[in-house]
């Protein structure tokens, strides 16, 4: 009975948290849209100038017609209001460069980026946590030093350099893995083929975060293992393994989960570089091209969707946090 | 290829592989092998669209030129030959050209190419987009039958001009039945083109590659040799070098790898590097003086700007020797029109200082004569490095320099729309025919606000305008050459905009790749005869 009440109460708290986070997300999204809209319009050069330049259009009447077509004759504040209104109707605008709706252009590239982000975060989390646990369990031993040195290396190594070095070693010298792309051109596309292509970019992007998680996890494990409830668990005669896995690890994960949520945005940013090095056909490449061509609708579309991904990830982190630490219900 | 290039190749700069396994040798010795898939790349990014009617830059030209064809083609020996046209002949007054089309040419969808397609392409695509600047005197076409087109002009049109027009750029023959009645710029077929070329579009995996397959009904019987052509995009030069080395890419055109990697890759004996295949599309780094600034209205000041810059140093340090100092707006490989008999603005800081003194700009108390805003267009990373060397050179003769290296959209806006610069480092790509591609940088009709790669310096004189008008209509080749020589003498003396460097573009290919770099604009060639050795 008590357990049922506790479960129901937990669900209730979770729903309340979810509702609160969604309400908080609305002004956040509005801020993201307004700030990005203003920032990108402050940059010199516009997509219309680049478009007329590429098409060698010099006739003032044609340029004016294009300005009207793309709604650029309106004052900036009105353009912003129209953009927000369109967004509310899930209309992200039209990309002149790709000659298709923005949402379609992003949809072509988004799955590749999500795959890279999820695999990198998963790798970082698994490797980082495992390395942190090992380092804390073998504190002040060779293992601890080894984890520290390796973590320091991957933390200090720029991801683009790491990516190129891995290409040289695993693709060029050893020939084990492909240089880049997402699948073998003209004959790939199976799960194994995609995984082979995914491995190096995932390592290049994920190992940096794994290094952070390893360091945080180590110190968190050491801190938690000094707490009273751990001492009690040991006094009860639980094995070292049981104490570590069931008592210390779960509580030590809290700071790692917290920074994981915060870092979703930087992982998305990091994928721009990694996608370039590995020719990974994701949103990062699209974003790079779109910024270079002042393709405002696509840039804004990616920013808005990126913000949504980060917000969703942070809500998920909050829920996981609550699961890891039931005391959050009380607060 | 220039003598300088030959020497470089001979001394092993790009390896003995070029000689041993390069162009002519194996191709002559071996019977072409049929079948296989060639994977190619280039030194830039993915295009905005597979085909862009106005050209849209090198990337869409690279991707579309394998699917579409032109009426003519220029060979490596400089002669013009028919491609979709069997021949063309000028009328006695040179005001019209009769083009006889090749019969039996089919588009990829099976429809036969006729004079209607040619007339549509010239009227609706070339005149409005692809060759708008060159077709100022275009007066329409007649199509007396399915295989004859008469192209008319208001004024006499030189044969070299016409031959260059039908053989160059993106002056393709498009299928009228696909494009008529639509906006050619937004036609969906631009992303899955239907042409007459040796390759048929199969798919575009955005962010990754184009896949083309052999056009079985291609009019050149027995071609292409290969089954498939893949154009793959890798943004990073180091990744391209790795992909070449790993055998994932067979050939890269237009500087696919960083200069230090050229030596390394050719040193393995598995690759050749060549500067052949760029004779019709020589890129230069230009240095432009904004004559709207009163300081640069003085010719001596403009001349001094060029004399203060050590171009040989730039060629050595920024381009690792894959460039040569520029002298004339007509590039030095241009056999038809180049002359060395011009006003020289070679590196001479003392003379530059003297010219500035004489122009009324002596050094002031702070050691400076005046200060300028130098804009180095950021679309090529080398431009920023050149900007630093130019700044150093100008400061050495007492000119203060504020250097900025904006990105591509900002550079285009500041140079060609706002004219917001005193000196600009930009780039030009010049074919052999100087009108209008080269002359437009010096004439009043080249000043078109908002249109890039035109006359941004604002320089124009009645003398140059009149001379270019004469060049435009002179049909005697010898007289025309003399006029272009005169043009070079005037503009090198006036020095509003001159090339700092002529850039040497490089193609890097596996030794397995045969019959490559055999067209003077190889990036824009159809690659119908390329093949892969076992």
Residue in B209, B408, B410 nearest the CB of A185: B209
Residue in B248, B413, B451 nearest the CB of A178: B248
Residue B430 β-bridge partners = B282
Residues 6+ apart with CB under 8 A from B414: A44, B375, B406, B420, B421
CB-CB neighbors (< 8 A) of A292 in chain B? 407-409
Q: Answer for the pair B291, B506: CB distance below 8 angstroms, yes or no.
A: no
Q: Would the CB atoms of B207 and A293 count as touching at under 8 Å?
A: no
> What distance in Å separates residue A131's CA from the closest CA in chain B?
31
CB-CB neighbors (< 8 A) of A295 in chain B? none
If you write DSSP's letter for every residue of B277-306 in order, what string do you get? T-TTSEEEEEEEE-TTSGGGGSHHHHHHHH
The confidence score (pLDDT) of residue A4 equals 45
Interface test with A, best of B41, B48, B404 (most A CBs within 10 A): B48
Q: Would the CB atoms of B246 and A175 count as touching at under 8 Å?
A: yes
Q: Measuring CA to CA, which residue among B183, B75, B16, B57 is closest to residue A65?
A: B183
Closest Cα in chain A to B453: A53
For tokens 């010298």, name the residue: A173
Interface test with B, best of A40, A43, A56, A96 (most B CBs within 10 A): A56
CB-CB neighbors (< 8 A) of B211 in chain A? 185-186
CB-CB neighbors (< 8 A) of A294 in chain B? 409
Residue B211 β-bridge partners = B203, B230
Q: Would the CB atoms of B414 and A54 count as touching at under 8 Å?
A: no
Q: Measuring CA to CA, which residue among B409, B406, B491 is closest to residue B450?
A: B409
- Give CA separation, B510 vs B33, B42, B239, B246, B365, in Å: 15, 14, 16, 11, 60
Q: Would the CB atoms of B239 and A52 count as touching at under 8 Å?
A: no
User: What are the tens digits of pLDDT across the range A12-54?
Assistant: 777 888 888 888 888 988 998 999 899 888 887 777 777 777 6
> What distance in Å separates residue A124's CA from the closest CA in chain B?
24
> What distance in Å separates residue B9's CA from the closest CA in chain A?
26
User: Under DSSP, is residue B23 helix (H, G, I), strand (E, B) or coil?
Assistant: coil
- Give CA separation, B228 vs A132, A206, A222, B219, B224, in Å: 50, 36, 60, 17, 9
How does strand B507-510 pair with strand B271-274? antiparallel
Q: Would the CB atoms of B235 and A288 count as touching at under 8 Å?
A: yes
| Burial class for A193, CB neighbours closer than 10 Å (0-12, 13-18, 19+) | middle
Distance CA B339, CA B28 (A): 35
Using CA of residue B421, residue B424, residue B426, residue B432, what is the dihedral sign? positive
Distance CA B166, CA B84 (A): 10
- Backbone φ and ψ of B16, nearest 5°: -70, -15
Weakly modelled stretches of chain A, pLDDT under 50: 1-5, 330-331
The confidence score (pLDDT) of residue B27 equals 43
Averages of pLDDT over runs of 10 residues in chain B (534 residues) are: 32 34 45 94 91 88 97 94 97 97 97 98 93 90 97 97 94 97 91 97 91 97 96 91 94 93 93 94 94 97 97 94 94 93 96 97 95 95 95 97 93 92 94 93 91 91 97 96 97 96 95 96 96 92
Q: How many CB atoms lie within 10 A of CB A62?
A: 12
Distance CA A46, CA A297 (A): 11
Q: How far, rounded to the nearest angstrom, does the alpha carbon of residue B266 sit from its chain's CA centroid?
A: 25
Residue in B206, B246, B406 nearest the CB of A108: B206
Residues 6+ apart with CB under 8 A from B391: B374, B401, B403
User: Under DSSP, is residue B531 helix (H, G, I), strand (E, B) or coil?
Assistant: strand
- Backbone φ and ψ of B90, nearest 5°: -80, 150
Distance CA B198, CA B184 (A): 22
- For residue B224, whether the previous peptide bond is cis, meaning omega lies within 30 degrees of 0, is yes
| Burial class for B368, CB neighbours closer than 10 Å (0-12, 13-18, 19+) | middle
For tokens 């002519």, name the residue: B24
The confidence score (pLDDT) of residue A55 equals 66
> What distance in Å separates residue B51's CA from the closest CA in chain A?
12
CB-CB neighbors (< 8 A) of A98 in chain B? 48, 206
Q: Would the CB atoms of A108 and B242 count as touching at under 8 Å?
A: no
Residue in A45, A182, A286 nearest the CB of B413: A45
- Give CA separation, A150 vs A127, A135, A208, A210, A214, in Å: 12, 11, 10, 10, 10
Q: How many CB atoms lie within 10 A of CB B75?
A: 12
- Give CA separation, A253 vs A208, B10, B22, B397, in Å: 18, 64, 60, 64
If you write DSSP's letter for every residue of A167-231 in order, what string do you get? IIIIIIIS--S-SSSSS-TTT--SHHHHHHHHHHHHHHHHHHHHHHHHHHHHHHHHHHTTSHHHH
Distance CA B346, CA B327 (A): 8
Q: Would the CB atoms of B410 and A181 count as touching at under 8 Å?
A: no
C-alpha R_g of chain B: 23
Q: Would the CB atoms of A179 and B239 count as touching at under 8 Å?
A: yes
């Amino acid at each position: 009975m008590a357990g049922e009440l506790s479960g129901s109460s937990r669900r209730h708290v979770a729903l309340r948290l979810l509702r609160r986070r969604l309400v908080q997300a609305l002004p956040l999204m509005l801020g993201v849209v307004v700030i990005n809209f203003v920032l990108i319009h402050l940059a010199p050069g516009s997509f219309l100038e680049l478009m007329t330049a590429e098409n060698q259009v010099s006739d003032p009447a044609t340029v004016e017609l294009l300005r009207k077509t793309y709604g650029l004759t309106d004052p900036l504040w009105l353009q912003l209001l129209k953009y927000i209104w369109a967004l509310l109707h899930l209309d992200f605008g039209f990309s002149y460069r790709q000659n298709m709706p923005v949402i379609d252009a992003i949809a072509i590239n988004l799955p590749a980026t999500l795959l890279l982000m999820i695999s990198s975060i998963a790798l970082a989390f698994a490797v980082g946590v495992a390395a942190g646990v090992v380092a804390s369990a073998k504190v002040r031993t060779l293992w601890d030093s080894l984890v520290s040195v390796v973590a320091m290396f991957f933390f200090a190594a720029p991801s683009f350099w790491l990516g190129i070095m891995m290409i040289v070693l695993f693709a060029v010298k050893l020939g084990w893995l492909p240089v880049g792309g997402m699948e073998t051109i003209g004959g790939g596309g199976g799960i194994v083929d995609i995984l082979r292509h995914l491995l190096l970019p995932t390592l290049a992007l994920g190992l940096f975060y794994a290094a952070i998680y390893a360091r945080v996890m180590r110190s968190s494990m050491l801190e938690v293992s000094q707490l009273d409830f751990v001492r009690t668990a040991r006094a009860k005669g639980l094995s070292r393994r049981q104490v570590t896995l069931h008592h210390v690890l779960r509580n030590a994960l809290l700071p790692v989960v917290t920074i994981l949520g915060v870092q979703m945005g930087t992982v998305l940013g990091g994928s721009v570089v990694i996608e370039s090095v590995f020719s990974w056909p994701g949103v990062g490449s699209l974003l790079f091209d779109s910024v270079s061509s002042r393709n405002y609708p696509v840039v804004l579309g990616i920013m808005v969707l990126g913000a949504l991904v980060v917000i969703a990830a942070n809500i998920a982190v909050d829920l996981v946090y609550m699961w890891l630490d039931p005391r959050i219900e009380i607060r | 290829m220039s003598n300088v290039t030959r020497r470089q190749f001979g001394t092993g700069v790009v390896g003995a592989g070029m000689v041993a396994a390069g162009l002519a040798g194996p191709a002559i010795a071996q019977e072409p092998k049929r079948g296989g898939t060639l994977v190619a790349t280039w030194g830039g990014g993915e295009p905005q669209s597979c085909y862009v009617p106005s050209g849209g830059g090198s990337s869409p030209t690279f991707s579309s030129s394998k699917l579409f064809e032109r009426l003519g083609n220029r060979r490596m020996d400089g002669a013009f030959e028919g491609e979709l046209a069997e021949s063309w002949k000028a009328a006695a007054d040179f005001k019209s050209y009769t083009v006889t089309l090749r019969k039996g040419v089919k588009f990829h969808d099976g429809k036969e190419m006729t004079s209607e397609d040619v007339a549509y392409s010239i009227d609706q695509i070339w005149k409005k987009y692809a060759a708008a600047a060159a077709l100022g005197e275009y007066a329409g076409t007649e199509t007396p039958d399915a295989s004859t087109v008469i192209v008319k002009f208001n004024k006499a049109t030189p044969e070299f001009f016409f031959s260059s027009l039908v053989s160059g750029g993106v002056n393709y023959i498009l299928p009228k039945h696909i494009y008529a009645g639509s906006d050619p710029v937004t036609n969906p077929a631009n992303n899955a083109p239907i042409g007459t070329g040796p390759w048929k579009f199969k798919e575009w995996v955005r962010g990754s590659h184009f896949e083309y397959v052999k056009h079985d009904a291609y009019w050149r019987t027995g071609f292409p040799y290969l089954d498939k052509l893949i154009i793959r995009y890798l943004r990073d030069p180091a990744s391209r070098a790795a992909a070449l080395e790993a055998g994932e890419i067979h050939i890269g055109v237009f500087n696919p790898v960083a200069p230090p990697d050229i030596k390394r890759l050719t040193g393995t004996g598995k690759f050749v590097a060549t500067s052949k295949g760029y004779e019709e599309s020589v890129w230069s780094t230009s240095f432009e003086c904004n004559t709207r600034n009163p300081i640069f209205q003085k010719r001596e000041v403009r001349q001094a700007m060029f004399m203060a810059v050590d171009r040989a140093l730039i060629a050595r340090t920024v381009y690792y020797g894959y460039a040569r100092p520029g002298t004339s707006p007509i590039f030095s490989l241009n056999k038809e029109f180049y002359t060395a008999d011009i006003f020289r603005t070679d590196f001479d800081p003392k003379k530059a200082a003297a010219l500035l003194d004489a122009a009324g700009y002596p050094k002031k108390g702070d050691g400076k004569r005046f200060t300028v805003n130098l804009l180095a267009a950021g679309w090529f990373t080398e431009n920023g490095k050149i900007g630093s060397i130019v700044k150093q050179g100008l400061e050495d003769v007492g000119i203060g320099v504020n250097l900025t290296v904006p990105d591509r959209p900002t550079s285009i806006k500041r140079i060609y729309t706002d004219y917001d610069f005193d000196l600009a480092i930009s780039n030009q790509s010049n074919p052999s025919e100087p009108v209008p591609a080269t002359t437009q940088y010096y004439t009043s009709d080249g000043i078109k606000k908002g249109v890039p790669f035109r006359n941004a310096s604002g320089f124009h004189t009645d003398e140059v305008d009149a001379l270019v008008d004469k060049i435009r209509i002179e049909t005697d080749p010898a007289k025309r050459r003399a006029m272009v020589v005169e043009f070079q003498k005037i503009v090198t003396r006036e020095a509003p905009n001159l090339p700092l460097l002529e850039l040497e573009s490089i193609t890097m290919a596996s030794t397995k790749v045969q019959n490559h770099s055999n067209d003077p604009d190889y990036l824009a060639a159809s690659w119908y005869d390329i093949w892969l050795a076992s």
